[in-house]
């Protein structure tokens, strides 16, 4: 019979279980929220509520009781200073458990346990209010930037399209002019060569005729001598 045994065993010994929940309680009050399995989160909420009720009392005995559970003195002193301001209005239920999903590997159900106080609620409300304003401003800025970019893009495209046409036209003109000069040069070169050959052949023929005419005169002179 498990009468008056409300706590979970979690497949651990009593010493291991107490040490684990002490560490988890210190980290919860230090960081305001932690992630753990759903079973541990439910058990940790009982520990957190008990510690907050002791902190609300604020006497020396309750402080020593909390110091026997929480491992860090700074966390205990901060808890006792802020207990009445943060948790004074609430009679209980100082924690919130949010289911996250399942853990990779063993598929254990995970939960996020966090403290509920004035600061946490105020932070959430301010974040909710500020977020839409920031998004609206960002959207307006983005839309204006997109419009300006769209206006600039067509002019840039037209400039890009015009420039290649001019370059292509200039290239065509140059290409059309070059072959004409080359053809003229090609035409003039063989004509000059032909003229040179004709002149050479004419000079040779004249030299041969002159030799033929001079040959009988030389023979007559030899005979006379």
Q: What is the CATH number of the domain that holds 53?
A: 3.90.1030.10
Is residue 136's pLDDT more than 70? no
109/129 same-domain check = no
Q: How many structural domains comprise the chain? A: 2
Q: How would residue 68 be classed by pLDDT, with cut points 50, 70 and 90? A: very high
44 and 90 part of one domain: yes
Judgement on whether residues 122 and 77 belong to the same structural domain of the protein = no
Identify which has the larger pLDDT, 145 or 59: 59
73 located within any domain: yes
pLDDT at 81 over 90: yes
CB atoms within 10 A of CB 42: 15
- pLDDT class of 225 with cuts at 50, 70, 90: low
What is the C-alpha to C-alpha distance for residues 132 and 201, in angstroms, rounded to an integer? 103
Note whether 49 and 65 are within 8 A (CB): no
Residue with the two structure tokens 């420039």: 163
| 179 and 167 within one domain | yes
Show which of 95, 116, 137 is a domain's final residue.
Answer: 116
pLDDT of residue 200: 81
More confident residue, 159 or 199: 199
In a domain, 222, yes or no: no
Q: Which domain-ending residue is among 98, 116, 134?
A: 116
Q: Are residues 109 and 130 in the same domain?
A: no
Contact 34, 28 (CB under 8 A): yes
Q: Of 106-115, 133-142, 175-184, 212-221, where does mean pLDDT reach its minimum? A: 175-184
Tokens 């005169």 sit on residue: 217
Which range of residues forms the domain containing residue 28? 14-116
Residues 147 and 59 occupy one common structural domain: no
* 166 domain residue, yes or no: yes
Could you read off the pLDDT of 21-54 as tens digits, one per residue?
999 999 999 999 999 999 999 999 999 999 999 9
Instruction: Report if residue 134 sits inside a domain.
Output: yes
In a domain, 216, yes or no: no
pLDDT-based confidence at 77, cuts 50/70/90? very high
Residue 9 within a domain: no
Give the HSE-up count for residue 51: Cα atoms under 13 Å, Cβ half-sphere.
Answer: 27
pLDDT range class, residue 5, cuts 50, 70, 90: confident
Indicate the pLDDT class of residue 167, thresholds 50, 70 and 90.
low
- Please check whether residue 141 lies inside any domain of the structure: yes
Q: What is the pLDDT, as a whole number, of residue 140?
A: 75
Mean pLDDT of the 9-30 span? 95
In a domain, 201, yes or no: no
Do 54 and 96 reside in the same domain of the chain?
Answer: yes
CA 201 to chain centre: 85
- d(Cα 160, Cα 157) in Å, to the nearest integer? 5
Show the tokens assigned to 156.
């840039």
66 with 127, same domain? no
Q: Which of 66, 83, 116 is where one domain is finished?
A: 116
112 and 19 in a common domain:
yes
- Checking if the pLDDT of 131 tops 90, the result is no
Our separate counts of H helices and E strands in the chain read: 5, 3
Residues 132 and 181 in one domain: yes
pLDDT per residue as tens digits for the range 174-221: 555 555 555 555 556 677 777 888 888 888 888 887 877 777 776 767
More confident residue, 169 or 60: 60
pLDDT value of position 34: 96
Look at residue 169 in the predicted model and tell me its pLDDT. Answer: 54
Residues 181 and 131 in one domain: yes
Q: Are residues 122 and 83 in the same domain?
A: no
């Amino acid at each position: 019979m498990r009468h008056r045994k409300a706590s979970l065993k979690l497949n651990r010994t009593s010493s291991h279980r107490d040490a684990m929940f002490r560490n988890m309680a210190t980290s919860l009050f230090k960081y305001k929220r932690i992630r753990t399995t759903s079973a541990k989160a439910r058990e940790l909420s009982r520990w957190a509520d008990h510690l907050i009720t002791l902190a609300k009392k604020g006497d020396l005995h309750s402080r020593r009781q909390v110091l026997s559970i929480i491992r860090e003195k700074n966390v205990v002193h901060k808890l006792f200073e802020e207990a009445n301001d943060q948790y004074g209005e609430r009679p209980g239920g100082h924690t919130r458990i949010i289911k996250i999903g399942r853990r990779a590997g063993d598929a254990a159900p995970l939960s996020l346990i966090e403290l509920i106080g004035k600061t946490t609620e105020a932070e959430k409300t301010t974040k909710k209010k500020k977020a839409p304003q920031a998004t609206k401003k960002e959207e307006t800025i983005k839309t204006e930037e997109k419009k300006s970019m769209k206006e600039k893009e067509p002019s840039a495209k037209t400039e890009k399209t015009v420039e290649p046409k001019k370059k292509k036209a200039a290239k065509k003109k140059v290409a059309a002019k070059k072959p004409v000069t080359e053809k003229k040069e090609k035409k003039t070169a063989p004509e000059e060569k032909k003229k040179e050959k004709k002149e050479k052949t004419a000079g040779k023929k004249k030299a041969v005729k002159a030799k033929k005419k001079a040959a009988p005169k030389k023979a007559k002179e030899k005979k006379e001598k």
